[in-house]
């Protein structure tokens, strides 16, 4: 019996479609509907299944086949549908944990395990988009195209590729995207209006001066730096701001110079070369209390903040604490 479902979006068409060698639109729509019903992400599911297909192609599944007798093949609609069903119903607990976990089970597969910090890749490959590659690497949550990836590269436009210019572009995009996240608006808004227009809307509604786009950019930078501080506290530092080896070799232009881009990126962001925020940056953003509490003790610091009634600083501090 047929039924009417929403059509798959672009990322789903990539992740479950071309990424796995599936080109039948009916099958892709069915897979998308299944993922919706199971409550699982189509990008991650597609990345996991494609990784399993490559593991099988390269002979990794022979001795340690964690999915039983199934040997997923590129382009097999049956295999994709079966794997989505088993993942969605909890029948493959190892598979559910993602590409990073699977690459640890199969030593030697790390170079083609398409993830950053455990998040599977979206549709945009760094070969033709170096700024996107940098944004994936330094993102607080991994390979996410909504964490500062330059919009012009996402749309297929070619940028200079120069490390310094790509790094500056990523910092600018991170600030603006983080600001829009704080406003709880879709990033597609930037295709129609900019931060300056958004700031005027907020000022008209709320009655306070944001100082235009610059004020929102500072809010975005504060949110971004706070998320990086959270990661550092949890042991996720610059050594994990990396890309899979497959992303670092480009067929037509040689190597993707990630390390140079990272060096410029940290400088533009106001971080040290090792990926830690400088004291001056934290003071500028009003986040210096996060460092201060580690020196004098959290209870004493909270009392001091309450005494001067700096409620914004108190909120930021409490958000950062476990």
Per DSSP bridges, beta strands 115-116 and 254-255 are unpaired
Tell me the pLDDT tens digit for each residue of 293-319: 444 444 555 565 566 566 555 555 555
Co-location of 46 and 57 in the same domain:
yes
**Percentage of the chain lying above the pLDDT 70 cut:** 85
Section 223-246 average pLDDT: 90
Co-location of 227 and 311 in the same domain:
no
Q: Residue 233 has what pLDDT?
A: 79
Q: Residue 266 has what pLDDT?
A: 96
- Asked if residue 297 belongs to a domain, the reply is yes
Beta-bridged to residue 116, according to DSSP, are 119
Co-location of 138 and 241 in the same domain:
yes
Q: How many domains does the chain have?
A: 3
Cβ atoms of 84 and 38 within 8 Å: the answer is yes
Q: Residue 297 has what pLDDT?
A: 46
Q: Residue 295 has what pLDDT?
A: 46
Domain boundary among 88, 113, 138: 113
- Asked if residue 20 belongs to a domain, the reply is yes
> Residue 166 has which token pair?
């790509």
In sign, the C-alpha dihedral spanning 137, 164, 173, 182 is positive
Choose from 57-61, 76-80, 93-97 the range with maximum mean pLDDT: 76-80
Co-location of 175 and 191 in the same domain:
yes
- Asked if residue 2 belongs to a domain, the reply is no
H or E element in which residue 177 lies: helix 163-183
Which runs of E-coded beta strand occur in the chain? Answer: 115-116, 119-120, 249-250, 254-255
Q: Residue 318 has what pLDDT?
A: 57
Section 4-22 average pLDDT: 91
Co-location of 273 and 292 in the same domain:
no
What one-character DSSP code corresponds to residue 263? Answer: H
pTM attached to this predicted model: 0.86
Phi and psi, residue 255, nearest 5°: -80, 150
Match 């899979």 to its residue by tokens.
Answer: 244
User: For the purposes of burial, counting CB atoms within 10 Å of the CB of 88, is it exposed (0-12), middle (13-18) or buried (19 or more)?
Assistant: middle
Co-location of 258 and 303 in the same domain:
no
Instruction: Provide the residue range defining the domain that includes 242.
Output: 130-285
Q: CATH number, domain at 61?
A: 1.10.569.10
Residue 247 clears pLDDT 70, i.e. is over it: yes
Co-location of 137 and 276 in the same domain:
yes
Section 61-74 average pLDDT: 83
The mean-pLDDT minimum among 34-38, 53-57, 125-129, 263-267 falls in 125-129
Residue 65 clears pLDDT 90, i.e. is over it: no
- Asked if residue 17 belongs to a domain, the reply is yes
Tell me the pLDDT tens digit for each residue of 110-147: 999 999 999 999 999 888 889 999 999 999 999 999 99
H or E element in which residue 317 lies: helix 311-320
Co-location of 159 and 278 in the same domain:
yes
Section 231-243 average pLDDT: 90
Cβ atoms of 170 and 271 within 8 Å: the answer is no
Helix and strand tally (H, E) in the chain? 17, 4
- Asked if residue 3 belongs to a domain, the reply is no
Residue 207 clears pLDDT 90, i.e. is over it: no
Residue 63 clears pLDDT 50, i.e. is over it: yes
Co-location of 135 and 271 in the same domain:
yes
Q: Residue 290 has what pLDDT?
A: 67
- Asked if residue 118 belongs to a domain, the reply is no
Co-location of 257 and 138 in the same domain:
yes
- Asked if residue 119 belongs to a domain, the reply is no
Q: CATH number, domain at 213?
A: 1.10.599.10
Co-location of 76 and 148 in the same domain:
no
Nearest C-alpha neighbor of 292 from the set 302, 306, 307, 277? 302
Domain boundary among 52, 86, 113: 113
pLDDT band at 90 (very low <50, low <70, confident <90, very high): confident
Phi and psi, residue 263, nearest 5°: -60, -45
Cβ atoms of 176 and 221 within 8 Å: the answer is no
Q: Residue 322 has what pLDDT?
A: 45
- Asked if residue 234 belongs to a domain, the reply is yes
Higher-scoring residue by pLDDT: 156, 169: 169
- CA–CA distance, 112 with 248 (Å, rounded to integer): 11
Higher-scoring residue by pLDDT: 32, 8: 32
Match 């069903």 to its residue by tokens.
Answer: 85
Match 């409550």 to its residue by tokens.
Answer: 39
Section 222-238 average pLDDT: 89
- CA–CA distance, 22 with 166 (Å, rounded to integer): 33
- CA–CA distance, 181 with 178 (Å, rounded to integer): 5
Co-location of 178 and 278 in the same domain:
yes
Please tell me whether residue 57 adopts helix, strand or coil conformation.
Answer: helix
Q: Residue 110 has what pLDDT?
A: 95
């Amino acid at each position: 019996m047929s039924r009417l479902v929403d059509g798959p979006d672009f990322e789903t068409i990539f992740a479950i479609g071309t990424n796995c060698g599936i080109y039948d639109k009916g099958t892709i729509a069915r897979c998308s509907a299944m993922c919706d019903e199971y409550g699982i992400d189509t990008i991650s599911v597609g990345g996991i299944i494609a990784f399993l297909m490559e593991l099988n192609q390269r002979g990794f599944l022979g001795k340690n086949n964690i999915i039983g007798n199934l040997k997923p093949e590129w382009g097999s609609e049956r295999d994709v549908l079966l794997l989505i069903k088993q993942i969605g119903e909890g029948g493959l607990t190892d598979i559910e944990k993602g590409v990073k976990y699977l690459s640890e089970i199969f030593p030697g597969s790390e170079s083609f395990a398409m993830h950053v910090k455990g998040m599977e890749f979206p549709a945009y490959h760094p070969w033709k988009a170096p700024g996107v590659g940098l944004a994936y690497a330094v993102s607080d949550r991994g390979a996410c195209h909504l964490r500062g990836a330059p919009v012009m590269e996402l749309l297929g436009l070619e940028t200079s590729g120069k490390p310094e210019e790509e790094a500056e572009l990523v910092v600018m995009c991170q600030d603006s995207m983080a600001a829009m996240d704080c406003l709880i608006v879709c990033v597609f808004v930037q295709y129609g209006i900019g931060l300056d227009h958004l700031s005027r809307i907020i000022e008209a509604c709320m009655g306070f001066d944001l100082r235009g786009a610059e004020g929102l950019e500072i809010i975005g930078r504060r949110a971004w730096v706070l998320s990086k501080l959270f990661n550092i506290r949890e042991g996720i530092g610059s050594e994990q701001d990396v890309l899979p080896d497959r992303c670092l070799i480009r067929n037509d232009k040689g190597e993707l110079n990630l390390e140079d881009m990272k060096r410029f990126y940290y400088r533009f962001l106001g971080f040290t070369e090792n990926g830690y925020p400088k004291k001056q940056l934290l003071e500028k953003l009003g986040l210096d209390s996060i460092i201060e509490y580690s020196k004098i003790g959290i209870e004493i610091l909270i009392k001091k903040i309450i005494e001067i009634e700096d409620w914004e600083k108190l909120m930021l501090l409490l958000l950062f604490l476990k």
